[in-house]
Structures are given as structure tokens and as C-alpha cells.
């Protein structure tokens, strides 16, 4: 198997075929099934409904074990890539299986809540698949062979150069440079909130503002100072470009993580609601 094979194409889309087989078989049996006249249609209380419900419940519990499998590095129970591929396709098949289990009957009750939570979890999983297939490629292109740490070191080095150049300029230019370089570069990567990381590209950038201010100051300088100011602008522009790359990298990382803050808690909420659904069925019915 190729090392960089997508989880969606794992083993020639083995789990896509399995999920399609599950869905087609469920549809065929649902159409073929003839429930007793009193039931009118094969709702969840018929043998078919119980069968589909059991399959859906087992799948939900199994799908939640992916997190456990990821942490067992020496496990012999298949590769993480295979588990993830099965997680995606079999998780998607739940939409068909659970819908047939409910026989398209929905209301304001715990049963429908379990169904709605399941659909939300699956939809959040779709975004997770997109994020893990799309953003690593964008991160690689953005870093261009470098690392986040190396970019931060370059920014720190440029800050030192800019402060040194500004010493030969008027106090106004010094103040502008000091304000733009006083924050430690690591502050770009550490301590900022998830929201700030995602919206960082749209926020105020001190470096770009400093470049604009230095251009205005440049009109009042002597020729020698103007030459130094030109060098300073060049270094500040380089820093601005590097800062944008850091912010983009942080944004991609945040987008790859943020869906988990919905997917995982909602999965546990789904499990709790599923248990309540099962218990209420056996208690009242």
C-alpha cells in the first residue's frame, strides 16, 4: 500500500464497498419486509426494526472506539488508517440504517433526539475528513519546507535587525519599530485563543501598520536616513510576509482541531441519548 494513500481510498475503498453493501441490503430487506397489518409498516418495534437498530447501536459504539485505537500504538487490531477509513464510511452508512430503523417516524422525543445528534455528529465528521485531507496540503505549501519554529526564529532575527537599523533614524521611526517588534514572536503561536488563531488573518497587523508609518516618515528624512529607512522597510516587509505565513499555519492547525470540540462531546452525548433510547424502548414497550 502506498504510504500516502488517502483514507478514502484505503485498500481500494474496501470500506466504501462494505458501507454500500450494508445500505443496499438494508433497503432491500426494508422494501421486502411485510410487517403485521397492525403495524402498517416496518417501524422500529418489528423484528426488522430491532435488527437495524441493533446494527446501528453496535456501529455507534464501535465507531467511538477509534479514539482508543489511535492511542494503542502497538495494537495488532488493524492499522489506524484502516480504522479511520471504516469510521468514515460505516459512520456515513448510519444515516440510511438509522433512518430505516425509525421507518421515517420522528417526533419530539428522546428517540428523535438520538437521531438528530447522530446526524450532527456525522456532519461534523464530514468537516473533519475535509480538514484532514485539505489542510495538511495547504500547511505544507505555506511552510515551503520550513517549520513553524524556524519561521518564528526568522521573525525574531528580523526584529533585532529592524531595531538596530532604527537606531540611526529619528525618534519617531524608533518608536514605530519598537511598537511593532516588542512582542515576542512566540506570542504568535502560544497563548492566543482558538478564535484568534482562526481569525488572525483578518486582524490588525502591527508590522503592516509600521510599514505604512515608516513610508510616511521617509518623506522627512535626509538622503542617508532615507537609505536606512529603505533597508528598514525591506526588513519589515519580509517580517510581515513571514508573520502572515505563521498566522496561516496557526489558522490551518486551529481549523483541524476545532471540529473535534464539537465531534467528540456530541459523540458522547449521542451515546448517552442512545442508551436512554434503548432503555426507554425496553421499559415502555
SS3 call for 94: helix
Q: What are phi and psi of 99, to 5 degrees?
A: -65, -40
Radius of gyration of the chain (CA): 28
Higher pLDDT, 187 or 51: 51
Confidence label for 1 from pLDDT (cuts 50, 70 and 90): very low
Confidence of residue 146 (pLDDT cuts 50, 70, 90): very high
Q: What is the pTM of this model?
A: 0.78
**Distance between alpha carbon 15 and the CA centroid of its chain, in Å?**
22
**65-78, pLDDT tens digit by residue?**
887 776 665 666 66
Mean per-residue pLDDT over the chain, rounded = 85
**CB 263 within 8 Å of CB 124:** yes
Sign of the C-alpha dihedral, residues 104, 108, 113, 119?
A: positive
Q: How confident is the model at residue 2 (pLDDT cuts 50, 70, 90)?
A: very low
171 CB burial (10 A radius; 0-12, 13-18, 19+): exposed
**Residue 266: predicted pLDDT:** 93
- Tell me the longest C-alpha to C-alpha distance in the chain: 97
For residues 1 and 283, give the distance between their C-alpha atoms in angstroms, rounded to a whole number: 49
For residue 95, pLDDT over 60 is answered with: yes
Domain boundaries, the chain: 7-144+259-284, 148-258
Least confident of 73-77, 99-103, 195-199, 207-211: 73-77
Rounded CA-CA distance 260/266 in Å is: 9
pLDDT at 37 over 60: no
Question: Can you list the pairs that 169-174 forms with residues at least 24 positions away whose Cβ atoms lie under 8 Å?
Answer: 169/217, 169/221, 169/225, 169/228, 169/229, 169/232, 170/217, 170/220, 170/221, 170/225, 172/217, 173/214, 173/217, 173/229, 173/232
Specify the pLDDT at position 103: 83
Cα–Cα distance list, 54 to 9, 51, 114 (Å): 28, 5, 14
Give the pLDDT band of residue 42 (cuts 50, 70, 90): low
DSSP 8-state secondary structure symbol assigned to residue 200: G
Question: Tell me: the pLDDT tens digits for 226-251?
Answer: 999 999 999 999 999 998 899 889 88
**How much is the pLDDT for 273?**
95
User: Quick one: average pLDDT of 188-208?
Assistant: 69
**For residue 58, pLDDT beyond 80:** yes
Amino acid at each position: 500500500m502506498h504510504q500516502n494513500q488517502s483514507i478514502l481510498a484505503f485498500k481500494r475503498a474496501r470500506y466504501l464497498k462494505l458501507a454500500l453493501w450494508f445500505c443496499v441490503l438494508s433497503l432491500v430487506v426494508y422494501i421486502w419486509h411485510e410487517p403485521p397489518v397492525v403495524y402498517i409498516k416496518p417501524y422500529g418495534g418489528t423484528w426488522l426494526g430491532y435488527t437495524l437498530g441493533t446494527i446501528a447501536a453496535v456501529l455507534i459504539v464501535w465507531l467511538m472506539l477509534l479514539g482508543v485505537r489511535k492511542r494503542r500504538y502497538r495494537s495488532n487490531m488493524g492499522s489506524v488508517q484502516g480504522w479511520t477509513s471504516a469510521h468514515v464510511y460505516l459512520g456515513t452508512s448510519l444515516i440510511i440504517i438509522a433512518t430505516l430503523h425509525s421507518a421515517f417516524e420522528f417526533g419530539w422525543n428522546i428517540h428523535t433526539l438520538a437521531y438528530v445528534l447522530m446526524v450532527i455528529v456525522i456532519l461534523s465528521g464530514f468537516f473533519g475528513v475535509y480538514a484532514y485531507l485539505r489542510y495538511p496540503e495547504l500547511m505544507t505549501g505555506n511552510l515551503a519546507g520550513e517549520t513553524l519554529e524556524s519561521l518564528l526564529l526568522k521573525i525574531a532575527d528580523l526584529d533585532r535587525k529592524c531595531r538596530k537599523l532604527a537606531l540611526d533614524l529619528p525618534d519617531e521611526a524608533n518608536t514605530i519599530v519598537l511598537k511593532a517588534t516588542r512582542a515576542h514572536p512566540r506570542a504568535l503561536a502560544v497563548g492566543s485563543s482558538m478564535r484568534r488563531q482562526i481569525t488572525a488573518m483578518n486582524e490588525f497587523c502591527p508590522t503592516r501598520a509600521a510599514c505604512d508609518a515608516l513610508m510616511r516618515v521617509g518623506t522627512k528624512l535626509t538622503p542617508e536616513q532615507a537609505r536606512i529607512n529603505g533597508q528598514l522597510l525591506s526588513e519589515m516587509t519580509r517580517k510581515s510576509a513571514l508573520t502572515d505565513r505563521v498566522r496561516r499555519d496557526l489558522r490551518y492547525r486551529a481549523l483541524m482541531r476545532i471540529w473535534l470540540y464539537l465531534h467528540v462531546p456530541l459523540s458522547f452525548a449521542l451515546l448517552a441519548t442512545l442508551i436512554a433510547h434503548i432503555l426507554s424502548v425496553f421499559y415502555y414497550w
